[in-house]
Chain A
Amino acid sequence: MVVDETPIVSIENLVKDFRPGFGLRRKRVLDGISFEVRRGEVFGFIGPNGAGKTTTLKVLMGLIRPTSGGARILGHDISEVGFRRHVGFLPEGPYFYDFLTGRETLDFYSRLCAVPKPERGRRVEELLHKVGLEDAADLRLRAYSKGMLQRVGIAQTLVHDPEIVFLDEPMSGLDPVGRKEIRDLIAGLHSGGKTVFMNTHILSDVELICDRIAIIANGRIVHEADAAALHAATGGEVDISVIGLDVGIAEGLERDFDVQMEGRGERIEIRLASKHVDEVIGRIVGGGGHIRAVAQVGGGLEDLFIETIGANRQQAAR
């Protein structure tokens, strides 16, 4: 997990207006966004629906032309074509030619990327193995489940061994098992030294795999943070559920750490600020109590997300 500080993607003051129809007023979808993605990191680009995440990604992929401002990937202007040999892209809910088999699909994309012939077959097999589609490789894509399609999609982003991959909502619409599979694949990419740029609104995934995040709302970047800073910045509370807690110890906890307690039969739920977790658990265990569960309550990214988006909405309303 080596994170290089040089930017692999740099976006500067990107503006995009859409004109919904002739004569109608332009609608500003991206309002001067700027940020950077560093080599080797997993970058989470998060925001509510309609905030401009996919538009940003499509601008980066050259699918949408910016109204003003620009961006560079691997030092190349995004209007160029050649550097895309080193870039992978997974669109949201990817669609492929359903009359091709999984193997044919990967072969097609590797040809498009001009992967040399001897390497092509080997890479395709390797990727089929990597995304776990060896058994379904010769089935037509119309027989694939959503999770399988997503895995073909990821394999497709990797056929030409890119340095950076852009994923648009890679986990949306998948069941928990599928989500975990994709998450593991992304983690694998990360440890393989690839840079990953990921659009998502599933915050728990972001917390699990992202090194850095940027939050976008109404076409503006409203927050940018490292994962470490994120953890530090957000406090939150912890619930501990205990059985066999001594009454004296319980009173001591209430006095010293300002905890809230609630009895449910013989089980007692204790809520406390997360910074006191270690000490409180030490006392409980020392006093002969048995801990049944510990859980984070609120805080983390979700609170941050809701706070920043809420603040932004209020600002916009004003």
Chain B
Amino acid sequence: MSKRLSVIAVLAGHTLRDAIRNKVLYVLLMFALLMIGMGMLLATLSYVERDRILQDVALSSIRLFGAAIAIFIGVGLVHREIDRRTIFTILSKPVSRADFLVGKYLGLVATLWLMLAAMSIGFVGVSLVADAPIGPSTFAALGAVGLELAVLVAIATLFSCFATPFLAGCYSLGFYLIGHITRDLRAIGEASDSEMMRTATAWLHRILPDLESFNWTIEAVHQLPISTSEFAWAAVMGVAWCVAFLTVASLVFERRDLR
């Protein structure tokens, strides 16, 4: 068991090292930081609640670019290794495919969290400059973004196991968008007269990852208290979704022929 863990750790470290060399990542990061800065400019268009607009824009940029980076690096997880033919030597070692996937996945999560940390520093920086409020909710919201990105990269990992990066990107984006509206859909469904509509939207909300549970933008910006239990349950659910996606991913990957 400890051997498996150390193999996973080696792969994760190696993946992190590989991923942070990708220049596209830095372009996206630059854009994110630019957008965070742009928040300051946009805020001046309003004569009131400039803090709110600044932090809305900045936090939304972090979420948007975080998701973009997660999908971008996630969809290439398996494909890149096959494309570069580096996967052959790794899997011929005593490394199971599941361990390979988990190791790579954890490396990408580490990469994403590094990027998130960089963007968070930008966020806190502009907030301090603009004298906008920073509190426990801010950090909880940023932490929740980290969870969302972990789930998102797990989704991308699953698709990368059987689809080309482009298609895997499209599928992951679809999941991301739907994941953010299942709550709204459910609310719309509940207001509907049709029993079928109510059931369908409720089930849609249950079987797809509810990514809105990681969206604490409004709470963070308005410095509203975030319930510990709700945050904890969101975290538990996030980890469970990661496990679920990775399990399906390794089942799919296990069967795949690596030609």
Instruction: Consider the complex of A and B and state whether they touch directly, i.e. have CB atoms less than 8 Å apart.
Output: yes
Chain A residues with CB under 8 Å of chain B are 18, 58, 61-65, 81-85, 87-91, 93-97, 99, 108-109, 111-114, 153, 156, 160, 166
A89 touches B18 (CB 8 A): no
Docked CA distance A276–B204 (Å)? 86
A90 vs chain B, min Cβ distance (A): 8
Chain A residue nearest to B11 in the complex (CB): A112
B94 touches A81 (CB 8 A): yes
Count of chain A to chain B residue pairs whose CB atoms are closer than 8 Å in the complex: 80
Chain A residue nearest to B254 in the complex (CB): A65
Q: Which of A94, A114, A156 contacts B85 (CB 8 A)?
A: A94
A112 touches B88 (CB 8 A): no
Q: Which of A58, A63, A85, A93 contacts B94 (CB 8 A)?
A: A85
12 further contact pairs, Cβ within 8 A, besides A61-B91, A99-B18: A63-B257, A64-B259, A81-B95, A84-B95, A91-B88, A94-B88, A94-B89, A109-B89, A111-B6, A112-B11, A113-B93, A114-B6
Docked CA distance A35–B95 (Å)? 26
Chain B residue nearest to A54 in the complex (CB): B259
What would be 5 A-B contacts, judged by CB atoms less than 8 Å apart? A58-B258, A62-B92, A87-B92, A88-B92, A93-B85
Mark interface residues in B1-41 (1 if CB within 8 Å of A CB, else 0). Answer: 00100110011001001100100000000000000000000
B128 at the interface (CB under 8 A from A): no
B258 touches A64 (CB 8 A): yes
A62 touches B91 (CB 8 A): yes
A112 touches B18 (CB 8 A): no
Docked CA distance A132–B14 (Å)? 26
Docked CA distance A147–B94 (Å)? 26
Mark interface residues in B173-190 (1 if CB within 8 Å of A CB, else 0). Answer: 000000000000000000
B247 at the interface (CB under 8 A from A): no
Assuming the A-B contacts A112-B7, A114-B6, are A91 and B258 also in contact, with contact meaning beta carbons closer than 8 angstroms in the complex? Answer: no
A113 touches B94 (CB 8 A): yes
Chain B residue nearest to A19 in the complex (CB): B257
A63 touches B258 (CB 8 A): yes
B88 touches A89 (CB 8 A): yes
Assuming the A-B contacts A94-B85, A96-B89, are A81 and B257 also in contact, with contact meaning beta carbons closer than 8 angstroms in the complex? Answer: no
Assuming the A-B contacts A91-B88, A112-B7, A114-B3, are A64 and B257 also in contact, with contact meaning beta carbons closer than 8 angstroms in the complex? Answer: yes
- By a CB distance below 8 angstroms, the chain A residues around B21 are 99
A156 touches B89 (CB 8 A): yes
Q: Which of A82, A93, A112, A166 contacts B90 (CB 8 A)?
A: A112
Docked CA distance A82–B86 (Å)? 20
Assuming the A-B contacts A61-B91, A108-B14, A112-B90, are A95 and B85 also in contact, with contact meaning beta carbons closer than 8 angstroms in the complex? Answer: yes
B96 at the interface (CB under 8 A from A): yes
A94 vs chain B, min Cβ distance (A): 6
Docked CA distance A114–B259 (Å)? 26
